[in-house]
Amino acid sequence: MAAIKYRLIKKDSRTNARLGILETPHGVIETPVFMPVGTQATVKAMTPEELKEIGATIILSNTYHLYLRPGHKIIEKAGGLHRFMNWDRAILTDSGGFQIFSLSSLRKIKEEGVEFRSHIDGSKHFFTPEKVIEIQNALGSDIIMSFDECAPYPADYEYVKNSMELTIKWAERGKKAHKNTEKQALFGIVQGGIYEDLRKECAQRLVEMDFPGYSIGGLSVGEPKNVMYDIVDLTTEYLPENKPRYLMGVGSPDDLIEGVIRGVDMFDCVLPTRIARNGTVFTSKGKLIVRDAPYAEDFSPLDEECDCYTCKNYSRAYIRHLFKANEILAARLATIHNLYFLIKLMERIREAIRQDRLLEFKKQFFKKYGYKEEY
C-alpha cells in the first residue's frame, strides 16, 4: 500500500485551484495547506500542542540540519522524528539540496553527489541521492524529498540544463534507494530555473517515473514574482491531477493565494516564524512592526479581526514591551499569531474554492492587505 493518498475533491471553475484531501500515516490533511517550518526538530518558539491548537496538520523539518545536529542516527534511536519531537501529525522533510546551496560552504558538485562543509563546525560531508534517502528513512517523516540541485538565480541556460539533468538522475537513484515506501512517500523535485522548456522536460520525465507527489523547487530565490508565477503555472500543467503538488519555500500571503490559483496544494516557508521573532506580524490590513514606537500605548490586539490566543489576550503595547525587553514570550506570541494567520488564510482559501469564489476572495484580501493586484 502507498504511504499517502491524494483525493481531488473539487476544482475551481475559473482557476487551476484544487481542493483535496491528503491521507498520510500521521493524519489527514486538507489541501491547499501551509506547513510551518520546524528546521531543527522544533517549530521555533512553539510546542506541538500549540501547533495543533492553531490548526497545523503537517510541518516541515530539514534533512540537512537534522543530519548535522543531532544526527539522524540519534533520532532513529529515539524512535524516529515524530517521537523525538513529540509531534504525532504528519511531517515532510526536504532534501537538503536547498540548504547545501544556501548555507554550507566549499561545496563540490559531482554526478556522484555533493561534498560540502557544515555551516556549524566546518566539518566535511558528502551527500549522495542514496544518502539523503537513508537519512530520511531514519527520520521516518511521512513525505520525503529526492536529492536535487537547487540552481541559483540568475544562472545561464547551460548551467540550469545540466543541473536539471543531474536532479533527474538523482531522482531515479533516490527512488531506487527508497525502501520504506509503505510509510514514507517520496516526491520528485521539478527544477529547471526560469526556463520553460527545462521545467516542462523535468516535470514530464519525473512524472514518467511515477512519484507519489511532486515538488516545485528552485523558485522564490530572487526571480521576479511574475516569472515565478509563470513557471508555477507552466509546471503544474505537466503534473498529474491525482498527485499532490508542493511549491517549496513559498509562503507570503500573496504567493500562497497566487500559488493556489496555479494549482499548488502544499506550501512551506520560514517567513511567518522568522519575521515574528523580529517583531513583525501579519494583520488583515498588512504587515505591522509591533516593536515600533507608535504601539507603546496601543492597547488593541495585533489584529482586531484575529481570534488567535495572542490577539484574544494581549495588547500591542504589551507585545512591544516584550520585544523591547528581549523577552522570550515576545517571540512566542508573535509566532503563534503569524502561523495562525497563514493557516487561517489557507482555511479561507479552501472555503472560497468550495464556494467557487476564489478570485473574489483574492480581490478582497489583496485590497484590504494593501497588495496590488498585478498578476
Cβ contacts of residue 46 below 8 Å, gap of 6+? Answer: 36, 332, 335, 336, 339
Residues 275-334 that bind a copy of itself (CB under 8 A): 296-297, 299, 313-315, 317-318, 320-322, 324-325, 327-329, 331-332
The least distance separating a copy of itself from the CB of residue 162, rounded to whole angstroms, comes to 35
Residue 218 is labelled as binding a ligand: yes
Phi first, then psi: give them for residue 91, nearest 5 degrees. Answer: -130, 135
The answer to whether the beta carbons of residues 44 and 331 sit under 8 Å apart is yes
Q: Give the nearest distance from C-beta 144 to a copy of itself in angstroms.
A: 21
Pick between residue 42 and residue 284 the one whose CB is nearest to a copy of itself: 42
**String marking each residue 68-97 x if it binds a copy of itself according to CB under 8 A:** -xx---x--xxx----xxx-----------
Decide whether 78 or 359 has the Cβ nearer to a copy of itself.
78
96 annotated binding-site participant: yes
How far does CA 239 lie from the centroid of its chain? 18
Work out whether 274 is an interface residue with a copy of itself (CB under 8 A): no
Nearer to a copy of itself by Cβ, of 16 and 40: the residue is: 40
Q: What is the DSSP string of 88-138?
A: -SEEEE--SHHHHHHT-EEEEE-SS-EEEE-TTT--EEEE-HHHHHHHHHH
Which of 58, 141, 160, 149 lies closest to 108 in space, CA to CA?
149
Nearer to a copy of itself, 139 or 266 (CB): 139
* 132 close to 146: Cβ distance less than 8 angstroms: yes
Residue 306 labelled as part of a binding site: yes
44 binds a copy of itself (CB under 8 A): yes
The residue (of 53 and 230) whose beta carbon lies closer to a copy of itself is 53
Cα 150 from Cα 164, distance rounded (Å)? 9
Active site residues: 94, 268
Phi, psi of 144 (to 5 degrees): -125, 160
Q: Is 36 helix (H, G, I), strand (E, B) or coil?
A: coil
Do 343 and 352 meet the contact criterion of CB atoms below 8 Å apart?
no
Measured CA to CA, the distance from residue 219 to residue 200 in angstroms comes to 15
Q: How many residues bind a copy of itself (CB under 8 A)?
A: 35
CB of 183 to a copy of itself, least distance (A): 21
Tally Cβ neighbours within 10 Å of residue 264: 26
Window 142 to 201, contacts with a copy of itself (CB under 8 A) = none
CA distance 297 to 283: 18
The CA radius of gyration of the chain, in Å to the nearest whole number, is 20
Determine if 42 is a binding residue for a copy of itself (CB under 8 A). Answer: yes
Told to check if 61 binds a copy of itself by CB under 8 A, we report no
Smallest separation (angstroms) from a copy of itself to the CB of 325: 4
CA 219 distance to own-chain centroid: 12
Asked if 270 is part of the footprint of a copy of itself (rule: CB under 8 A), the reply reads: no
We find the least distance from the C-beta atom of residue 338 to a copy of itself, in angstroms, to be 14
Binding-site annotation, residues for Zn(2+): 306, 308, 311, 337
Site residues for a copy of itself per CB under 8 A: 40-42, 44-47, 65, 69-70, 74, 77-79, 84-86, 296-297, 299, 313-315, 317-318, 320-322, 324-325, 327-329, 331-332
Binding-site annotation, residues: 94-98, 148, 191, 218, 306, 308, 311, 337
